[in-house]
Chains A and B, each alone.
Chain A
Amino acid sequence: MVMTLEERMRTVRFQVDDRPHIVVDAGICKDCSVQVCVYVCPASLFVPLDDGGILFNYEECFECGTCYIACNKEGAIQWSYPRGGYGVTFRES
């Protein structure tokens, strides 16, 4: 009964804000050889691009902070919380 991440993510409720609360500077990511954000994000929101940059989508973010704590490139991730009432809304956890 292996579940894909996509199936898992469908169980979570997100109230998507029209403004991103996290901004990733893909220019800085191009200089990063490890790009650990790709692995550690529990929602897998960081996608490596062919040009060496990172594509980030904030919409299904858990707001956990793992990405900026793991990131070793100063200034690559600008992190804040979404507007009040927006973002992830846990119902069961």
Chain B
Amino acid sequence: MALLSKEASLALVQRVNRLVGLPNGFPPPEEPPAPRERLQAPGTRSAEHVDVAVIGAGPAGSAAALIAARAGLKVLLLERGEYPGAKNVSGAAFYGSAIMDELIPHWWEQAPVERYLSRRVLSFMAPETSVALDFRSARFAEPPYNGVAILRPKFDRWFADQAVAAGAFLLNAAVVDDVLWEDGRVAGVRVRRDGGDIRADVVIACDGANSLIAKKAGLQRQFHSHEMSLGVKEVLALDEETIRERFHLNGNDGMAFEYIGSITEEVSGGAFLYTNRNTLSLGIIGQISSLVQHKRRPYELLEGFKAHPAVAPLVRGGTVREYSAHIIPEAGWNMLPKLATGGMMVAGDAAALCFVAGLYLEGINYAILSGIAAAETAIAACREQDFSAASLARYETALKARHVLGDFHGYRHAPAMVNSERLQNLYPAVIAHAAEQIFRVRGEPKQKIMPIALDALRQHKVAPVELLQDMLNAGRSFGW
């Protein structure tokens, strides 16, 4: 079959984008405010000095510290929690096993991995029905594995230990309140403790989704409530054998469930459930602006998720081991901060490098990739003793080389699409309705699929023009 040439398909894509009526590129990101008064770095003799100060021992920070320490740099890794992972919450499905394998060969043999995710189920939810896409691959259950389920307090601790083994110095219980400046560039960090000013040639801010440091340094603007989602989660204890039988798992295989549609009722968001060794991780995610609009309490939505007829049998008998909450930067490309300035770079969730696009829910992999890219930039800067903004601007090139920026740019239309009212609540209901009509047997003449689909669209009052626009928009977001 003759397919379109690359040029022809590109032209087609551009035409379709014009037809959808939305701009091809988003407007340039809003300028962050000018930094307020800057703290002066102390003289070289009066303060401790390191080559690289990494703020936050999550996946981005530990990856950066590991790479920089391996290159022989003096690295200080600062963690505000009692231990790495103490402040961290993720689903957590980690889809970066192959990336980690490059850093630490056969890492899964020594790391606290819960289960290998060889099955993914994406469900479209209506109040009493659900339709799911169920994908399994035996190849995903083989090394290096596609994704694994992890628990952050254990995983982050292990990963930070790898950085320490490579020579980085880890300081726990250390909050960084600000960066220090000298000659117009960042030259250190202020840790909240006596004598807490530490000089650093390069500061890498990996202080998470709610990065106060990126804002204080003037690299990130204030967030809008539609760009951030709140996740609330529970870890439920269930014994290992029950989990295997209930989810039909062999050995250490595991599965990831993701849900969109009415599972968060009228709130834009979704839900997840991951199998761990002897626990389940499950939770709901709600866009903050949408929670505000509908005045919904997140833990009530979590309770509703657990009570849904498709979910209740999965969690039956599980006792809550821990409740947790965290925010997620969801606007992707449209909320990326300025990534670097003189003496400083931003990585991981602090740089909003969280890939949330319906089919995908990834962040730890991009955190690690950006941590590596930042460390490699820092290594080059230290070698040349050039910590200027121009020198550290190479971080962006490194992020492009690792496909990070390309991924976010390619899917830049997806977050708004995924959180849109119609995709969230209308279409899952239409799909579930149509599926019910297709599968229900009434002893009446069997209808063909087209009239069933048209009837479902009519009953849910879908406007044909909007549907067409959404299909093209979905195509532009995910298809081409």
The CA-CA distance from A84 to B80 in the complex, in Å, is 5
Q: Which residues of B sit under 8 angstroms from A64, Cβ to Cβ?
A: 210, 230, 325-327
Q: Nearest residue in B to A80 (C-beta to C-beta)?
A: B212
Q: Determine the residue in chain A with the shortest Cβ distance to B175.
A: A84
Scoring A residues 1 to 44 as 1 if CB is less than 8 Å from chain B, else 0, what string do you get?
01101011101100100000000000000000010100110111
A50-93 with Cβ < 8 A to chain B: 62-66, 69-70, 80-85, 87-93
The interface size of chain B toward A, counting residues with CB under 8 Å, comes to 53
> Which DSSP category, helix, strand, loop or mixed, fits chain B's interface?
mixed
Chain B residues with CB under 8 Å of A9's CB are: 323
Check: B117 CB closer than 8 A to any chain A CB.
no
Contacts of B210 in A (CB 8 A): 63-65
Q: Which one of B86-94, B350-358, B374-382, B470-478 is at the interface?
A: B86-94
Mark contacts of B300-313 with chain A using CB atoms, 8 A cut-off: 1 yes-contact digit, 0 otherwise.
00010001000000
Task: Decide if A81 touches B175 in the complex (CB within 8 Å).
Answer: yes
Q: How far is the CB of A36 from chain B (nearest CB, A)?
A: 5
List residues of chain A with CB within 8 A of the CB of B225: 69-70
Are B322 and A11 touching (Cβ within 8 A)?
A: yes
Determine whether the beta carbon of A2 is less than 8 Å from that of B324.
no
Taking a contact as CB atoms under 8 Å apart, the answer to whether A62 and B324 are in contact is yes
Chain A interface main SS type: loop
Whether the Cβ atoms of B174 and A93 lie closer than 8 Å is no
Q: Which residue of A lies closest to B79 (CB)?
A: A84
Residues of B within 8 A of A80 (CB): 177, 212
Q: Residues of A within 8 Å of B, CB-based: how many?
A: 36
A44 and B235 form a contact (CB under 8 A) = no
Q: Which residues of A contact B228 (CB under 8 A)?
A: 65-66, 69
Residue of A nearest to B281 (CB): A93
Closest to B211 in A: A65
Contact check, B299 vs A90: say whether CB atoms are below 8 A apart.
Answer: no
Contact B223 A93 (CB under 8 A): no
Known: A89-B86, A90-B86. A39 touches B291 (CB 8 A): yes
Whether the Cβ atoms of B173 and A85 lie closer than 8 Å is yes
Q: Is the CB of A40 within 8 A of B303?
A: no
Cα distance, A81 to B212, chains bound together (Å): 9
Q: Known: A11-B322, A70-B225. Contact between A85 and B87, CB under 8 A?
A: no
- Contact between A93 and B172, CB atoms less than 8 A apart: no
Q: Report yes or no: B295 in contact with A39, Cβ–Cβ below 8 A.
A: yes
Q: Is residue B193 contacting chain A, with contact meaning CB distance below 8 A?
A: yes
Chain A residues positioned under 8 Å from B234 (CB to CB): 8
Q: Is B298 an interface residue (CB 8 A)?
A: yes
Task: Point out the residue from B192, B235, B292 that lies within 8 Å of A70, measured CB to CB.
Answer: B292
Bound state CA distance, A92 and B283, in angstroms?
A: 14
Cα separation A81 to B56 with both chains bound (whole Å)? 13
A-chain residues with CB within 8 Å of residue B92 when the two chains form the complex: 93
Nearest CB to that of A93 among chain B residues?
B324
- When the two chains form their complex, are residues A90 and B88 in contact, meaning their CB atoms are under 8 A apart? yes
Pick the contact of A65: B86, B90, B303, B327 (CB < 8 A): B327
**Residues in chain A near residue B89, CB distance under 8 A:** 90, 93
Give the most central of B87, B174, B279: most A CB within 10 Å.
B87
Q: How far is the CA of A80 from the CA of B279 in the complex (A)?
A: 32
A-B contact pairs, 14 of them (CB 8 A): A8-B320, A39-B297, A40-B288, A42-B325, A84-B172, A85-B80, A90-B85, A90-B86, A90-B322, A92-B153, A92-B321, A92-B324, A93-B89, A93-B153
B residues adjacent to A (C-beta < 8 A):
80-82, 85-90, 92, 151-153, 172-175, 177, 191-193, 209-210, 212, 223, 225, 228, 230, 232-235, 279, 281, 288-289, 291-292, 295-299, 303, 307, 320-327
Chain A residues close to B by CB (< 8 Å):
2-3, 5, 7-9, 11-12, 15, 34, 36, 39-40, 42-44, 62-66, 69-70, 80-85, 87-93
